[in-house]
Structure 1
Amino acid sequence: PEPAHRLAKLYIEPTSRCNLACRTCMRNGWGEPLGDMAPATFARIMGSLHDSDLPLTIFFGGIGEPLVHPEILNMVRAAKAAGAQVELISNGTLLDDEKARGLIAAGLDRLWVSLDGATPEGYTDVRLGAALSQVIRQVARLRDLRESGKPEIGIAFVAMRRNISELPALLRLSRTLGASRFMVTNVLPYTATMCDEVLYSRALSNNDYSAVPDLPDLSLPKMDRDLPHRDLIRQALADAWDMIPGKNGEKAVNDRCPFIDNGVLAVGWDGGVSPCLPLLHNATSYLHGYARQSRRWVIGRVQDQTLRDLWDSPLHSAFRERVRSFDFSPCTMCDGCILSESNEADCYGNEFPTCGGCLWAQGIIQCP
């Protein structure tokens, strides 16, 4: 898709606190203070929205659990009153009857529920401190309470070696819960012990996912998903064509930032504004088995500037153009340089923040 030239999606992080301690969480490898977005900070965000900013999607989510914030229902209500399409992601454990009714009454358009297992054992192995039966019961209750199909229900699944076998059962479960969307993402290891869980060690450098300019393009139609036939087609085309998978197939995403393409800004709980979720916090993750430090980058604060001014600022405009050209070193494919161990600089001469080691830009990690 063509990159967006206006603000189209705003991530708002109500809190960095959470009621769980999941294996996959960024908080396993950071030392930032925890906090909730102050009412005055949220009011500044809402007050800076203009009619010309619409249509706009406001997505409540970040590192914490949005339902932990004591004012989350009022925040959703205010975002809807501003004319936005409103989405929220939750682990579902705090989605009791009161919260479910409150989100429906506030006009929430879509609720994303993070489910990383279809069995009690598989689920609690990832989401420490949670109970699958409780989450299923509460999501089903919201499904039954809603009117006119709102909010829509989406399921987000973090794929790992330990839970990938539960994906088929989870897909079936999601249908019984009334989910209309299902998103699978890979795990991003925030601890060394999680490195063995990744399912993309070879995919990072696999040409099947790369566009090769010297090969002709081939667009395939829909076909019966008969496994022997699919294998024959893949074998015949392996080295002769630059394959363009279908919309619902494997995405050949390379060197494209989904946040820049989709016109995103992300506001942290403290009011700091970043151009994407990966730059919203300091974080330690692991790439090719090595620790990689990603430093937070904010283009300004909502306490000081409007969203429009932040979007149009020379700093942000220059960054968007730099990311669109994506002339960064290919750190996701090369593990031989010390510069790949941070986002400070790269071997092409780019300075902070660099994006060559970003797995979102390679279609490995994705967010709702």
Structure 2
Amino acid sequence: MEIVLSADEEQSKTEISNMTITEFILLGFSDVPHIQWMLFGIFLLMYLTILMCNSTIMLITRMDPALQTPMYFFLSNFSFVEICYVTVTIPRMLMDLCTQKGTISLLSCAVQLCFVIMLGGMEFLLLTVMAYDRYVAICNPLHYPLVMNNKVCVQLVASCWISIIPVVTGQTYQIFSLPYCGSNKINHYFCDIPPILKLACGDTFVNNLAIYVASVVFIMVPFLLILVSYGKIICNILNLSSAGGRSKAFSTCSSHLIVVVLFYGTATITYAQPKSNRSESMGKLLSLFYTILIPLLNPIIYTLRNKDIMVALRKLQTKLSTYGNS
């Protein structure tokens, strides 16, 4: 039986569908309201731990003369980006858990998305630069001080920022130039690309194409460069005659390699997976992994598997104890 709408009903329906959305509602963890305060406590503790651990790494790499090397310069920059990255998402999520509202303006959503993509892309680029640093250190140790001098290190980090900022800004503008006129509820705890594009009324083919191109440029290409670097590193290590030399070389690379696998694994599943195979709950879970859990694990991985950082931490602890007793 066909239902015929009156002229007034059709006009009303058209007006509703043509209404331009000026704000979104982040649903967050509204599907589990009975544990929201427990989630608030867990995420707050994790956020403070991330801030403390990464700030400590930044502090000791600046203070300890033994850590004034390119490897720790890049690690310090990586820790800074990690702090910024979690600060873009977690405080907002904590506020939504506390107020149980989740309303966010279109502009605030665009700014959050822009910084999430930018800082995430910076992490991938910095991991690539760190792989290149390890390649030069292990495969060309005699030329390492000349190749990786202070000027080159600063230029590498600056080039990462310069290359990512215009691309991300343009992509964000492109996404939020689309018409949003239907539902304004984002089934996520922050403004991410996949859930936002689901709410767009216009054709998102160009946007999805741009996302895949950006993923290739800022995820797959750096990943291939890292693979090439580590392929040469492993070949060089295996050719070392000393077992101690091989063990030391592997230990300096293992932490970085673990972080690379974690980052690229979750990013590939999240952004390269076809839409038909992606559920909203799984996307939210993966987002928790790469926005909170990995930033929490990174400083732990680097400190527990790095003797130089452990020594620097003991020195810092001794200085603080001496200062406290004086």
> Shorter-chain TM-score: what band?
under 0.3
Q: Which has the higher contact order (CA 8 A, sep 6+)?
A: 2
TM-score normalized by the length of structure 2? 0.26
Whose Rg is larger? Answer: 2
TM-score normalized by the length of structure 1? 0.24
